[in-house]
Amino acid sequence: MLSEHTIGIIKSTVPVLEVHGVAITKRFYQMLFSNHPELLNVFNHINQKQGKQPTALANVVYAAAANIDQLEKIIPVVKQIAHKHRSLGITADQYPIVGKNLLAAIKDVLGDAATDDIIQAWAEAYGVIAQVFIDVEAEMYEAAENAEGGWRGFRSFVVTRKVQESDAITSFYLVPEDGKAISGFLPGQYVTVKANIPGQSYTHMRQYSLSDKPGLPYYRISVKREDDSEVKPGGIVSQYLHHQVSEGDVLDITAPAGGFTLNLEDARPVVLISGGVGLTPMISMLNTIVEQAPERKVSFIHAARNSRAHAMKQAVEELAKTNSNVTVQWCYSQPTEEDRLQQSFDKEGYITADWLKGIVPNKDAAYYFCGPIPFMRQVHQSLHGIGVPQADIHYEFFGPKGSLD
Ligand code: HEM
């Protein structure tokens, strides 16, 4: 229990955090990795370089500080992060390490302004915030381990099939090496792959959505190869998976996690909108609805550059042919000549409010979307534009959470 005095200090430092929050977390990561280089095995180096992770952490610390006397308010945010932490295997004994380096970074950035009183108050507050995470994560670890076919930590899976789905997306079918059962999951959830890439000093962890329905004897992930470009370096793990991992190889993964999941209790029509490789959780949702709720209307809308970049097109069109509850719409930003000749898409350009208005159900519906951030902004805005209430809008970021405003 924090004292009124401590709460007062924490609350009064919120404006300071607003100004220095990102500088503090950037400094924090420099210190953390210099004091604990082994943590480079766990953190995504690209997210660090792009500053995405420091910003995500700063936003949460800021939200927690503002609500320090009513932390139950931030439980939904904590849960989302705790899924990620659980999926990465973050442990309770790592929290004090993070706390120590965070306090050192606050002191370092704020200098004399960070008085002993302030540092002491933050040490206490961090302890309280950390405990909320530790408790939520402990429950998640137990649930993952105790589920039928579940496990704790990493488990080895054999790549039994590798299937090219488009010019850049390839699916990997994963079957446990121990031959035992695998746990179910909620459509929309992901697993963490731990990649031991030859020649690399550290392991690399990445999350990939499960791209098929639960209840099958395998998990499927579908990975976009991120090639090197002038504006950003390629994806070290995606290139490794595409170029170096073959059928018969083993990948270590954690049990399914994630809070972006399809509500199967809701019988209303559902609209699944994806951009590029953001289609992976949507395919899992679609396949699950077809199997478990065949009466529920599904509108599957996918945006891709053109048919060459469009993964799983044939499989989804087959589903729509054989299931009258499923309709599909394709939106291509750069259709090829052949796409035009074959009229293999419904809209050219980007998804807009006007177009959506004409193709989505006009009564109550649930909306789920996932894709690159500019695409998500556009979809979010369009849904607001056509009057969809925020409570019916669900979305997932790939990578650290950002803002769609
Ligand atoms: C991810 C906050 C403690 C390791 C995240 C994210 C946030 C966050 C906001 C981004 C989640 C997302 O992807 O949307 C916090 C807070 C903590 C805390 C507020 C303390 C109260 C820890 C600890 C560790 C850790 C103790 C382990 C040393 C990670 C890793 C990621 C992550 C590895 C994945 C991000 C990446 O690799 O880019 N955390 N975290 N966190 N956290 Fe924490």
Kindly indicate the confidence band of residue 307, based on its pLDDT and cuts at 50, 70 and 90.
very high
Residue type, 169: I
Ligand 1 atom with the shortest distance to the CA of 99: 20
Residue type, 124: E
Q: Which residues are annotated as a binding site for FAD?
A: 190, 206-209, 397-400
- pLDDT of residue 171 exceeding 60, the answer is yes
Report the pLDDT value the prediction gives residue 303, as an integer from 0 to 100: 97
Q: How much distance in Å is there from the Cα of 119 to the middle of ligand 1?
A: 21
Pairwise CA distance, residues 317 & 83, whole Å: 33
Q: What's this model's pTM, rounded to 2 decimal places?
A: 0.93
Report the pLDDT value the prediction gives residue 234, as an integer from 0 to 100: 86
- pLDDT of residue 86 exceeding 70, the answer is yes
HEC string for the chain: CCCHHHHHHHHHHHHHHHHHHHHHHHHHHHHHHHHCHHHHHCCCHHHHHCCHHHHHHHHHHHHHHHCCCCHHHHHHHHHHHHHHHHHHCCCHHHHHHHHHHHHHHHHHHHHHHCCHHHHHHHHHHHHHHHHHHHHHHHHHHHHHHHCCCCCCCCEEEEEEEEEECCCCEEEEEEEECCCCCCCCCCCCCEEEEEECCCCCCCCEEEEEEECCCCCCCCEEEEEECCCCCCCCCCCHHHHHHHHCCCCCCEEEECCCECCCCCCCCCCCCEEEEEEHHHHHHHHHHHHHHHHHCCCCCEEEEEEECCCCCCCCHHHHHHHHHHCCCEEEEEEECCCCHHHHHHCCCCEECCCCHHHHHHHCCCCCCEEEEECCHHHHHHHHHHHHHCCCCHHHEEEECCCCCCCCC
**pLDDT tens string 260-279:** 999 999 999 999 999 999 99
Give me the residue label for tokens 């395919």: 283
Q: Which residues are annotated as a binding site for heme b?
A: 85
Mean pLDDT of 74-87: 93
Tokens of 190: 């992901």
Mean pLDDT of 206-230: 95
Mutation probe of ligand 1 site: the residue of 60, 206, 260 with most atoms within 8 A of C-beta: 60
Residue with CA at minimum distance from ligand 1 atom 15:
57
- pLDDT of residue 404 exceeding 70, the answer is no
Q: How much distance in Å is there from the Cα of 234 to the middle of ligand 1?
A: 23
Residue with CA at minimum distance from ligand 1 atom 20:
130
Q: How much distance in Å is there from the Cα of 39 to the middle of ligand 1?
A: 11
Report the pLDDT value the prediction gives residue 338, as an integer from 0 to 100: 97
Q: Which residues line ligand 1 (CB under 6 A)?
A: 39, 42-44, 47, 53, 56-57, 60-61, 81, 84-85, 88, 90, 94-95, 98, 129-130, 133, 400-401
- pLDDT of residue 25 exceeding 70, the answer is yes
Of 163 and 62, which is predicted with more confidence? Answer: 163
Residue with CA at minimum distance from ligand 1 atom 3:
95
Q: How much distance in Å is there from the Cα of 257 to the middle of ligand 1?
A: 15
Report the pLDDT value the prediction gives residue 229, as an integer from 0 to 100: 84
Residue with CA at minimum distance from ligand 1 atom 10:
400
Tokens of 321: 């042919």
Q: Count the Cβ atoms, other than its own, within 10 Å of residue 8.
A: 13
Ligand 1 atom with the shortest distance to the CA of 129: 21
Report the pLDDT value the prediction gives residue 271, as an integer from 0 to 100: 97
Mean pLDDT of 321-336: 97
ipTM, 2 dp: 0.98
Tokens of 199: 């020649």
Q: Output phi, psi for 394, to 5 deg.
A: -130, 135
**pLDDT tens string 26-57:** 899 999 999 999 999 998 877 666 666 667 77
Q: How much distance in Å is there from the Cα of 364 to the middle of ligand 1?
A: 36
Report the pLDDT value the prediction gives residue 245, as an integer from 0 to 100: 98
Gap between the terminal Cα atoms of the chain: 35
Domains of the chain (ranges plus CATH)? 4-146 (1.10.490.10), 155-253 (2.40.30.10), 270-396 (3.40.50.80)
- pLDDT of residue 162 exceeding 60, the answer is yes
Calculate what percentage of the chain has a pLDDT beyond 90.
79
Cα four-point dihedral sign 109, 113, 117, 122: negative
Mean pLDDT of the chain: 92
Q: Which residues are annotated as a binding site for NADP(+)?
A: 276-281
Cα four-point dihedral sign 223, 90, 174, 288: negative
Q: How much distance in Å is there from the Cα of 322 to the middle of ligand 1?
A: 43
Q: Which of 53-67, 91-105, 144-158 bottoms out in mean pLDDT, i.e. has the lowest?
A: 53-67
- pLDDT of residue 361 exceeding 90, the answer is no
Tokens of 382: 């369009």
Give the active site residues.
95, 137
Ligand 1 atom with the shortest distance to the CA of 42: 33
Return the bridge partners of 206, or none. 193
Residue with CA at minimum distance from ligand 1 atom 43:
85
Pairwise CA distance, residues 196 & 194, whole Å: 7
Report the pLDDT value the prediction gives residue 401, as an integer from 0 to 100: 60
Report the pLDDT value the prediction gives residue 35, as an integer from 0 to 100: 96
Ligand 1 atom with the shortest distance to the CA of 32: 28
Mutation probe of ligand 1 site: the residue of 31, 98, 189, 398 with most atoms within 8 A of C-beta: 98
Q: Which of 227-231, 236-240, 339-343 bottoms out in mean pLDDT, i.e. has the lowest?
A: 227-231
Contact at 8 Å (CB) between 310 and 304?
Answer: yes
Q: Which residues are annotated as a binding site?
A: 85, 190, 206-209, 276-281, 397-400
Calculate what percentage of the chain has a pLDDT beyond 70.
96
Angle at 245 between CA 281 and CA 243, to 5 degrees: 90
